[in-house]
Structure formats: structure tokens, C-alpha cells
Amino acid sequence: MESCAQTKKYAAKDYKSDLKPIWCPGCGDYTVLNAITRALAELALPPEEVAVVSGIGCSSRIPAYTSVYGFHGVHGRALPVATGLKLARPDLTVLVTGGDGDGFSIGGNHFLHACRRNVDLTYIVMDNQVYGMTKGQASPTTSPDWEGSKLTPEGTGINPFQPLVVGLASGANFVARVSSSDPVNMAQIIVEAIRHPGFSLVQVLSPCVTFRPEQAEWRDIVRTAVVDVTDDAARAARRLMTDDGFNVGKVLYKGNRPPFRPEFEQTDGSVAELEARFAL
């Protein structure tokens, strides 16, 4: 008899809400939503035990499109919200979703410290190298010579931010890059990211077909990385610093750092004991 192993089976659609996304047709974020729900189904996580946290931006709309618990906060602050939630409720599986502007510009400091702190979170960044919601401005990952924005008509002239290298240097415990053009692979990587303890960083190349139409070519440019996962952060960083940003589909780094837990003992101390210290 196998009846004792009655795991409830979930399908990807069980994790989708009935809201229709506001995204443009062809946006890469559709497949990211699919991959996330697919990953949750594969992990068979009861929807009420999962929370998706986001800030502001096109991709930050994801929580409302899922049927798990969601929190849609302010621009750039998804990681601290998720940190507080996970630390207060370690029983929950907490995902963070957002874009390159939200995560690496206005939220850049939180990104550094979330990597350092290594709370058991999975951070999925949909990187399209543009601010889409405000109609097409350069983001931290935009190349310096992109002249498509009225805000920076001559290009930004500044070097793009390297999220995975910075993530590694800051202490992220899991680093991967995937492409929105391969949702099956993406779902698999997200499963691994959720399973891996500590802070997992997944960069998704997710084209903005409206403000960066040239990104439609990404699906042809990306290639599956030919490297195997390493636990050597320096090695992973070297690979990342020499590639062109289009090696995808693999976990690049898995560290062994134990996740952050503030040192608090579950003692049976009472408030009365605290008060006694003030008594004369």
C-alpha cells in the first residue's frame, strides 16, 4: 500500500490568479510567471505556505498574478520586506520578484546586503535593461551607448552594473542566469534556487519588446552555458566577468554558507523578568 505517501499534487495553474497581466504582448515576464508557477507545482508547495514579495515596476506586478500570499510594496524595497517576512516566518517559502531598476538602482543597497545577509530567499530579477513602466529610460544594466531614451539621448556613458558578479562578491549563496525564452529550464533552475538554502539570485533575461524591440533577438543569441556549477565564488565570478552576458540555463554557483538566522534563543523568559531589572 502506498497510501501513506499521499502528496497533494498541484498544477502550475493552481498558483495563478484570475487577474490578467498588464504586460505588453510578447513581454518576457509572461514566461517568468509561468516558470514560477511551474516550479511551485513541482515543489508541491501549498499556496498558502508561499509568499511572493515585490517592489515597483512591470515585473513587480507578479504577486497579484499568483494565487499565493503576495506583497506589492514600494519601489526598491522588496528585499527588506521579504527579509522581515522570512525571519519572522521561517516556515514560509519566500520569493522576491522584480526588475533591474527596482533591484539594482533604487534598491541597490538592499541587494548588496541581502546577498551578504544570506537569508533563505529566492530573488528572481527580470532584467530587460530598461525602465519599462515609465516608458523607456536607461537602467543600471543598460549598455552605455544605448540612445533610445529621451532622458539620456546620447547614451548614459556609464558602465552597466554586473548583478551576478556583484551578487557573488556580496555573498549570494546561489547564482544562476536564465532566459525567458526557455520556461522549462527556467522553472527547473527556480526549483533548485528555492531548494538551495540561503539567498538565491536568479537573473532572467526577459526582453522588453516595447522599449527595447531589439531584445527580441535575445532568443537567438542566448546559448546554454557550457560550464558546470561550482562552489568557488572566485571561479564563478571570473567566468561571469569574461562572458558576454548571454550564457544561460545553468546554475553557476552554489555556496555552502549557512543561511542567516539572528541569534535568538526560544527561552521561556517572561516580561516580568525584564521588568525586575528596573525594580529598586
Point out which residues bind another protein (CB under 8 A). Answer: 19, 46-49, 51, 53, 63-64, 66-74, 76-77, 79-89, 91-92, 109-110, 112-113, 262-267, 269-271, 273-275, 278-280
Looking at the Cβ atoms of 217 and 273, the one nearer to another protein is: 273
What is the smallest separation between the CB atom of 45 and another protein, expressed in angstroms? Answer: 12
The total of other beta-carbon atoms located within 10 Å of residue 227's CB is 14
What is the smallest separation between the CB atom of 231 and another protein, expressed in angstroms? Answer: 26
Q: Are 57 and 132 in contact (CB under 8 A)?
A: yes
Looking at the Cβ atoms of 79 and 205, the one nearer to another protein is: 79
What is the smallest separation between the CB atom of 13 and another protein, expressed in angstroms? Answer: 14
Long-range own/partner contacts, residues 141-146 (CB < 8 A, 24 or more apart): 141/100, 141/104
Question: What residues contact 136, with CB distance under 8 A and at least 6 apart?
Answer: 130, 148, 149, 210, 211, 212
What is the smallest separation between the CB atom of 223 and another protein, expressed in angstroms? Answer: 36
Looking at the Cβ atoms of 39 and 176, the one nearer to another protein is: 39
What is the smallest separation between the CB atom of 235 and another protein, expressed in angstroms? Answer: 28
Q: Are 40 and 63 in contact (CB under 8 A)?
A: no
CA separation for the pair 11, 14 (Å, rounded): 5
Closest CA to 128 of 64, 213, 44: 213
3-state secondary structure of 42: helix
Looking at the Cβ atoms of 159 and 270, the one nearer to another protein is: 270
What is the smallest separation between the CB atom of 76 and another protein, expressed in angstroms? Answer: 8
Looking at the Cβ atoms of 113 and 238, the one nearer to another protein is: 113
> Hey, CA dihedral for 191, 72, 34, 23, is it positive or negative?
negative
Looking at the Cβ atoms of 96 and 193, the one nearer to another protein is: 96
Q: Which residue has the cell 516580568?
A: 272
